[in-house]
Structure 1
């Protein structure tokens, strides 16, 4: 696997692109954590309501138990305390529901802010890098000696734009058929630069 081009300018562009991708991923993760933490601040009132209400319910029930022993009217005195304790329990449950809702919101917001940009960047960047690595690795196997340049010269005749071929020769196909070494090398250099390789020798 050949990850980077032989040509310095293209190799620098590839390395810069890779570093920018890593920075994008790290930045997205940090932003997602920041958003998660910021949203979780909204859960603090719910947590406080839950704790205060649970404590209130416990104290009301204790008060109800204390007056329960009063002669004749103990049961009647306890009933309002138990009702108030049940109301405090419902308030505590509402506080917990708020905390759960905020946690769910924080999770999905962080996921959307972190994962979606990362997947988008990977989907746009990685296929191009993979295609380059595959082509460069395959091309590298065929470029051992100057004799191998003929294959790349032929590919240049088939793939390169006509204005580039015209710069090499008035008759690039004829020069290739005649085996003109300068024309073959120039044609091969055009095609090799497309896959980021330099000619041998």
Structure 2
């Protein structure tokens, strides 16, 4: 399987197109990761709230445990501290929820910012590359088949006219010479068809 043309001009265009596609994909990924980092900074308040809530709950739980040691009224004193500790735990949970939401938004934004540009680049770049690879394989098979030079010459005759001006025109014209089986005209025309496809004769 031939991935690149054999003629320098077309090969250079293909390599340039491949490099541009790779660079665009890399830029899209880098941009998406930068946006993700920026969004994840919004989770910092949630981390602080979670840390504060955990610290508060821990301190109140310890205070409640110490208050429970007071004779006779220990259990009564422990209940308000336990309630306050539960409120601190709720505050920590709220901070964690905020972080979860920010993380989900960051993930969705990252996926979107990667998938959409990469799909767009692939839709523009990949079909022409695959089409050229398949067409070049077909033309090479045709070139190597018996009578393939005649078919390539016909292909050149039915294509753009400008390259045909480089061939010396025999009496009766190129089409007539091709019909008569003129070997030189057939060779020249098949060479044009191959070069047009980016292949060397």
Give the secondary-structure state (helix, strand or coil) at the position aligned to 1:42: helix
Query: Which deviates more, 26-35 or 52-61?
Result: 26-35
Inter-CA distance 119–195: structure 2 relative to 1 (3 Å threshold): same
Q: TM-score, normalised by structure 1?
A: 0.86
Residue 182 of structure 1 and its aligned partner are, at CA, apart by 4.7
Residue 122 of structure 1 and its aligned partner are, at CA, apart by 1.4
Contact 1:157 1:173 in 2 (8 A): yes
Instruction: Tell me which residue corresponds to 1:140.
Output: 140
Residue 14 of structure 1 and its aligned partner are, at CA, apart by 0.3
1:179 counterpart = 2:181: yes
RMSD: 2.4
- Tell me how far apart the structure 2 counterparts of residues 186 and 143 of structure 1 sit (CA, whole Å): 13
> Which digits, 9 at most, give the CA deviation of each residue in 1:39-88, with x for residues without a partner?
11111221121122111101101111211232343333222211111111
Inter-CA distance 112–106: structure 2 relative to 1 (3 Å threshold): same
- Tell me how far apart the structure 1 counterparts of residues 130 and 136 of structure 2 sit (CA, whole Å): 10
Instruction: Tell me which residue corresponds to 1:125.
Output: 125
Instruction: Tell me which residue corresponds to 2:153.
Output: 153
Contact 1:165 1:172 in 2 (8 A): no
Residue 8 of structure 1 and its aligned partner are, at CA, apart by 0.8
Instruction: Tell me which residue corresponds to 2:200.
Output: 198
Residue 178 of structure 1 and its aligned partner are, at CA, apart by 1.9
- Tell me how far apart the structure 1 counterparts of residues 6 and 183 of structure 2 sit (CA, whole Å): 22
Instruction: Tell me which residue corresponds to 2:102.
Output: 102
Q: TM-score, normalised by structure 2?
A: 0.86
- Tell me how far apart the structure 2 counterparts of residues 96 and 183 of structure 1 sit (CA, whole Å): 79
1:51 counterpart = 2:45: no
Query: Which deviates more, 148-157 or 16-25?
Result: 148-157
Residue 25 of structure 1 and its aligned partner are, at CA, apart by 2.0
Structure 2, unaligned runs of 5 or more: none
Give the secondary-structure state (helix, strand or coil) at the position aligned to 1:143: helix
- Tell me how far apart the structure 1 counterparts of residues 39 and 95 of structure 2 sit (CA, whole Å): 16
Structure 1, unaligned runs of 5 or more: none
- Tell me how far apart the structure 2 counterparts of residues 119 and 166 of structure 1 sit (CA, whole Å): 39
Residue 180 of structure 1 and its aligned partner are, at CA, apart by 3.3
> Which digits, 9 at most, give the CA deviation of each residue in 1:109-152, with x for residues without a partner?
1111112211221122112111111111222233359x742220
Aligned residues: 197
- Tell me how far apart the structure 2 counterparts of residues 69 and 52 of structure 1 sit (CA, whole Å): 26
